[in-house]
Amino acid sequence: MTQPTAGGNNRPAGCIVVVMPRVTRGFVGRRPRDSRLPPGQYDAGDQWPVLTAERAPHLDTDRWTFRIEGLVEREVEWTWDEIGALPRERWDGDIHCVTTWSKFGMRWSGIPVDDLLEAAGPLPRARFVVAHSHSGYTTNLPLADVTGGRAWLAFDAQGRPLTREHGGPARLLVPHLYFWKSVKWVAGLRVLAEDEPGFWERNGYHDRGDPWREQRFQGD
């Protein structure tokens, strides 16, 4: 038995249809041999593809906040002006998207997540975080992947403020993992003792997403 699907195609009953992220532009590139390129990736060159599971929200910085809550000594929330007063640092390097593009030599500016977590004081049993966006998107990360100088709350890329389509006014930057972990329009972190899968992880993506191990989907 088959069931009709959008576009007039028939599929066997019970089949699983995987919904891919929204692709809006820049999804072209080449696949050179390069030691900086993880397996299965291609060099996007000057392009910075825009992919998202949702439409980019319009955020007013007058009402914007970033909050750390959960297993912490004290929950902390910053306004846009308060977060803007904190010291920033620069990170230069490459980013890798699970949809197989990589972009080399990016320049980012942001606040180390270490500094933000220090203000909240994670409790000894804390081992994971869930990052969530102002649009409701979530992703899970081991605490070890957002500490030790490995993650930032980013505001600028390539010397310019982040555009809305690229997650502005602020996004999470976790460049050593596939880029779906670098939450756009980030609103905060919830600190946990146990892992709690986020949006894509509940829909078949790998829990961690290491590009060098090609951890794209569950079981990779």
**pLDDT tens-digit readout, 116-152:** 999 999 999 999 999 999 999 999 999 999 999 999 9
> Mean per-residue pLDDT for 162-190?
98
Residue that has been written with the tokens 């670098």 in this structure: 182
Cα–Cα distance measured from residue 147 to residue 112, given in angstroms and rounded to the nearest whole number: 8
51 touches 22 (CB < 8 A): yes
Please check whether residue 7 lies inside any domain of the structure: no
Please check whether residue 120 lies inside any domain of the structure: yes
Please check whether residue 82 lies inside any domain of the structure: yes
How many domains does the chain fold into?
1
- Residue 203's domain is classified under what CATH number? 3.90.420.10
**Tally of CB atoms within 10 A around 163:** 13
Which helix (H) or strand (E) segment holds residue 171: the answer is strand 171-173
Cis preceding linkage at 169, omega within 30: yes
Tokens of 186: 């980030």
187 touches 132 (CB < 8 A): yes
**pLDDT tens-digit readout, 60-111:** 999 999 999 999 999 999 999 999 999 999 999 999 999 999 999 999 999 9
Please check whether residue 75 lies inside any domain of the structure: yes
> Mean per-residue pLDDT for 169-189?
98
Please check whether residue 71 lies inside any domain of the structure: yes
Question: In this predicted structure, what is the pLDDT of residue 10?
Answer: 46
Name the pLDDT band for 35 (thresholds 50, 70, 90).
Answer: confident
Name the pLDDT band for 34 (thresholds 50, 70, 90).
Answer: low
Residue 119 belongs to domain spanning: 59-90+106-213
